[in-house]
Structure 1
Amino acid sequence: MDMNGKTALVTGANSGLGKAIALALAQDGWRVGLVARNPERGAAAVAEIQAATGNTEVHLFIADFIDQTAIRQLAVAVCDQFEYLHLLINNAATAYPERRLSPDGVECAFAVNHLAPFLLTHLLLERLKASAPARIVTVGTRMNTALDFADLNWERRRYRMMQAYGQAKLGNLHFTFELARRLDGSGVTANCVFPGIFNSNLGGTDGAQDWFWKLIALLFGRILPTPEQAAQRVLCVATDPVFAGINGTYLGNHKPLKVPAQAQDMLINRQLWRISETLTGILPAAPSPLRQLRP
């Protein structure tokens, strides 16, 4: 097939929304990197996309976003294989029914949903800048919440799955707005997209995580949009020339969405950025960042 000379990386791409996005990009002649946690499911997704599109430039990268070491290894592998990177879609997300800590000592919802895309984007940023014009699209959610900076690690509060998920995903907005300001004039844009409510497999297939999402799919799956339909909202911002100069926005169905109050505060955007730099080792560790750093 005719290739368009552009390269994209899609995280959480072995199923659901990420797979639908990767498939559409491959159909349009992109060279596409799929990031998956499970090698077998990832390989199956790559084979399916190649067979459906005739595009052999579909590549698999393996990383578990709960582990920052794996994210760093992923970034090295991507840069080794892709000399250019024109599009990064931060899609991987999950929720946990109970509080658990990552290998880096961070509450897992916050680690996977916020710190992982923060770190991966940071590690790939120079490759994106060198490939400009380029775009970073982070898939967000729509929950009117606020991060509790006094207890980011859920040590003092009773853990609630959806509250932890929503607050971690709010970090995507803080991150996008601060990143966009830092990228101004670089030829790289950063936006956050809410794809709408759709028939998702959020939570994965790991036993205890899976029951809630299976129940939602059972009750509402037939009336919800498909991942392929939801993917169009992300792809529009990721590839449409109309959005080429759009930077630092929160979009849904091709239109700006109302931003939760906390994420509108530039000082808090910047504060979470600094905390995230410390928690990912980008900056030298500050004393007890999860407990002491507050906006």
Structure 2
Amino acid sequence: MSTSAEHQCTALVTGANSGLGKAIVTALAANGLRVGLVSRDRARGEAALADIRAATGNQDLHLFVADLADQASVRVLAQAVRDRFDRLHLLINNAGTAFAERRLSPQGIECALATNHLGPFLLTNLLLDLIKASAPARIVNVGTRIDAAMDFDDLNWDKRPYGMMKGYAQSKLGNLHFTFELARRLQGRGVTVNCVFPGVFKSNLGGTDGAQGLFWKLLIRFGGWAIPTAETAAQRVLYLANAPELVGVSGQYFADRKTIPAPAQALDAEANRRLWEISERLTGLSRPQPGIGQETP
């Protein structure tokens, strides 16, 4: 997205204090955008802010602290963004994580689903009128290329044995369902919505504990020279944010600057609508969904 003195573009990036998110923000800041960084940890967010300001010279960077797994925190975040910015041309839902064991959010929802799908779903909806008022605008959801299917009868993993990668895969599939349904709903509004797989790159997904942490330690130790950096992966995301040829392109799944096929379930319009309606209820945008998620006192 280009900028000018009269109409500076404003972007918001979640998961911005390290890795892919930090690389995305650095590139946007270097291009002169006003950027909001969302970080779960204030100290790490402030450190990233200082690093990016020093690297780019861009002082128009703003830190927001929020835990995307906690819907109360997401609502505070959305209001803070609205208070700070009078327009929002680019929203990049980048934050994502995995959990070695099943754990629940403050609203009683399995944490991978809460963080990776419901957090961005709620944040985007709460900012949607601001984004539409800033059109032309773009929403970019960072996804994962995993062939999976959502179990609509057990989204919270109450019945099935929980596994880190199974929970992660289901939650990230939600990004595709969300992308395709939101794109359908925003047709003709001047806002495009696309999902991108940034490729395999050096990441701290899920932290250093658990099976995935051990996997990455071994992979980086013995083959780290061949694994792309976060800066390389960021270019795939930035293509969706910047490319002039993508003006008006919406409801697509990209990798390496070209469209790729989505898992079969995400191509089912009825499944997309169903998850949207469940997500509305789970986030309080409509009536609560019985049996899934209980707000803690």
Relative to the length of structure 1, the TM-score reads: 0.94
Match of 1:10 in 2: 13
Specify whether residues 256 and 268 from structure 1 end up closer, same or farther in structure 2 by C-alpha distance, changes over 3 A only: same
Q: Does 1:54 align with 2:35?
A: no
The DSSP-based 3-state class of the residue aligned with 2:226 is coil
Match of 2:183 in 1: 180
In the TM superposition, structure 1's runs of 4+ consecutive aligned residues that sit over 3 Å from their partners are 1-4, 207-220
Q: Deviations over 1:109-166 (max 9, x none)?
A: 1110100000000001000000000000000000011011111111111111001101
Match of 1:240 in 2: 243
What is the CA-CA distance between 1:289 and the residue it aligns to?
4.8
Say if 1:275 and 1:289, in contact at 8 Å, map to a contact too: no
- In the alignment of these two chains, the number of paired residues is 289
Match of 1:77 in 2: 80
Q: Does 1:224 align with 2:227?
A: yes
The DSSP-based 3-state class of the residue aligned with 1:221 is helix
Specify whether residues 140 and 228 from structure 1 end up closer, same or farther in structure 2 by C-alpha distance, changes over 3 A only: same
The DSSP-based 3-state class of the residue aligned with 2:225 is coil
Say if 1:193 and 1:251, in contact at 8 Å, map to a contact too: yes
In the alignment, the residues of structure 1 paired with residue 104 and residue 257 of structure 2 have an alpha-carbon distance, to the nearest angstrom, of 36
Relative to the length of structure 2, the TM-score reads: 0.93
Structure 1 residues 1-295: aligned runs within 5 Å: 5-204=8-207, 210-289=213-292
In the alignment, the residues of structure 1 paired with residue 65 and residue 218 of structure 2 have an alpha-carbon distance, to the nearest angstrom, of 28
One-letter amino acid of the structure 2 residue matched with residue 101 of structure 1: L
One-letter amino acid of the structure 1 residue matched with residue 128 of structure 2: L
What is the CA-CA distance between 1:213 and the residue it aligns to?
4.2
The DSSP-based 3-state class of the residue aligned with 2:148 is coil
Specify whether residues 253 and 73 from structure 1 end up closer, same or farther in structure 2 by C-alpha distance, changes over 3 A only: same
What is the CA-CA distance between 1:66 and the residue it aligns to?
1.4
In the alignment, the residues of structure 2 paired with residue 222 and residue 54 of structure 1 have an alpha-carbon distance, to the nearest angstrom, of 30
In the alignment, the residues of structure 1 paired with residue 106 and residue 216 of structure 2 have an alpha-carbon distance, to the nearest angstrom, of 25
Q: Deviations over 1:170-228 (max 9, x none)?
A: 000000000000000000010000011111121246x5685554444334432111100
Say if 1:202 and 1:213, in contact at 8 Å, map to a contact too: no
Say if 2:98 and 2:206, in contact at 8 Å, map to a contact too: yes
In the alignment, the residues of structure 2 paired with residue 125 and residue 6 of structure 1 have an alpha-carbon distance, to the nearest angstrom, of 16
In the alignment, the residues of structure 2 paired with residue 99 and residue 289 of structure 1 have an alpha-carbon distance, to the nearest angstrom, of 14
In the alignment, the residues of structure 2 paired with residue 132 and residue 223 of structure 1 have an alpha-carbon distance, to the nearest angstrom, of 40
RMSD over aligned Cα atoms:
1.7
In the alignment, the residues of structure 2 paired with residue 161 and residue 242 of structure 1 have an alpha-carbon distance, to the nearest angstrom, of 37
